[in-house]
A = this chain, B = another copy of it.
Amino acid sequence: MPEVIPDDSVGLVTPQQFHSDVPLTLRSGRVLPEYDLVYETYGELNADRSNAVLICHALSGDHHAAGYHSMDEAKPGWWDNAIGPGKPFDSQRFFIVSLNNLGGCSGSTGPVSHNPETGKLYGPDFPIVAVRDWVASQAQLADHLGIQQWAAVVGGSLGGMQVIRWAIQHPERLRHAVVIASASKLSAQNIAFNEVARQAIAKDPDFHDGNYLEHNTIPKVGLTQARMLGHLTYLSDDAMRQKFGRELQEGKLNYSFAPEFQVESYLHYQGEKFSTRFDANTYMLMTKALDYFDPAGDYDHDLVKCLSHASCDFLVVSFTTDWRFAPERSEEIVSALIEADKNVSYACIDSDGGHDAFLLPITRYHQVLDAYMNRIANELEGRS
């Protein structure tokens, strides 16, 4: 918790709520009759409403991307290193919007919300949402905020998938797309990792087919395991070697099945911490959205044809040691954009941070974001 708010922080922020009464027909065919989205904003919308930037979150993210909710908060928002005065997403120049997605567990309508039609918790009955459903709801939020066109839509990992969907679904509503550590579709290997994680949750006896809250419990064990696996695969082999190597927790082997190596204790800690803050049904939903995403599927599985519907410019960023969303996946997007005659900048950032690198304040990475966003801000300020 900060003694004083740092100068480069967006400062104290208060989440806001958007309620939509417009029924939303989801990709699955199911209809959400109404829904809430919780969001935060940083900076000021300019007079011609042209400086708005949308931040899309990844699997375990939420609307709290920057700043502090109170002076007692232990840590700032999840992307505080990139959002604030003088940072790549500069709140002195941009009006930045960050929301919790539908199906989330941080305030937007999701499994832990009440179903208005039954008065009961949605729980496992909350419909499986697709990336396009999130984008549709985000477009409603943009309407509500009076934003006709985003200066940029930005996201990493699952967030990057939302950016791609924005670009092809609402080409007139964004000028720039920033797609970080993402992919145009998951590989079989990635789907398999997600399924192993879902199984860990679904097979926890405390899961109760998703009705755990009715049973006054949570599937802590399963969610811990799912997160241990996820966390492990978001790191690189090299980073784990440097951080933990084969160091032992107590300096010697115990010849027991309790965690002995430091890497084991670390993963247990990360998994258990996550299991008490995150909703298991939300985790299940979010991984399904990842698995399902495949926008080229609607265009004869031709990514060039798919991306030809975009009219914005693109920045694509990948990280050398990210093996779950490998540079090759970003490069497929870049190649397709070039073939579709779009403007695209691409940077593959040297990092040992694995997939999690997209959340880290890596100098070269932030320089790339900074340069790109600076150009956008200069354009805006030149014309306004």
Contact = CB atoms under 8 A, between A and B. Distances in A.
Nearest to A193: B232
A211 to B, nearest CB: 13
A126 B237 CA distance: 32
**Chain copies in complex:** 2
A80 interface: no
Given A198-B257, A284-B257, A246 B191 contact: yes
B189 A291 contact: no
Interface stretch (A83-91, A260-268, A311-319): A260-268
A264 B195 contact: yes
Interface stretch (A63-71, A142-150, A180-188, A375-383): A180-188
A228 B257 contact: no
B188 A240 contact: yes
Interface stretch (A14-22, A111-119, A200-208): A200-208
A2 B185 CA distance: 43
A196 B255 contact: no
Contacts of A188: 237, 240-241, 243-246, 261, 263
Nearest to A285: B257
B193 A127 contact: no
A28 interface: yes
A263 B191 contact: yes
A163 interface: no
Interface in A202-223: 202-205, 221
Contacts of A204: 203
Interface residues of A, number: 54
A150 to B, nearest CB: 29
A384 interface: no
Contacts of A30: 255
A200 B200 contact: yes
A48 B341 CA distance: 74
Contacts of A291: 260-261
A227 B30 CA distance: 35
A326 to B, nearest CB: 8
Contacts of A237: 187-189, 323, 326
A225 B200 contact: yes
Given A192-B240, A261-B291, A199 B186 contact: no
A257 B229 CA distance: 19
A292 interface: yes
A352 interface: no
Contacts of A187: 237, 240-241
Given A28-B255, A232-B192, A246-B294, A225 B203 contact: yes
The residue among A29, A192, A244, A246 with the most chain B CB atoms within 10 A of its own CB is A192
A261 B189 contact: no
A78 B326 CA distance: 34
22 contacts: A28-B253, A29-B255, A128-B255, A185-B246, A187-B237, A188-B237, A188-B240, A188-B241, A189-B237, A192-B232, A193-B232, A195-B228, A195-B259, A195-B261, A195-B264, A203-B221, A203-B225, A205-B205, A229-B229, A237-B323, A246-B294, A257-B288
Lowest 10 A-B CB distances belong to which pairs? Answer: A188-B240, A28-B255, A188-B244, A188-B263, A195-B264, A189-B237, A192-B232, A128-B255, A203-B221, A189-B240
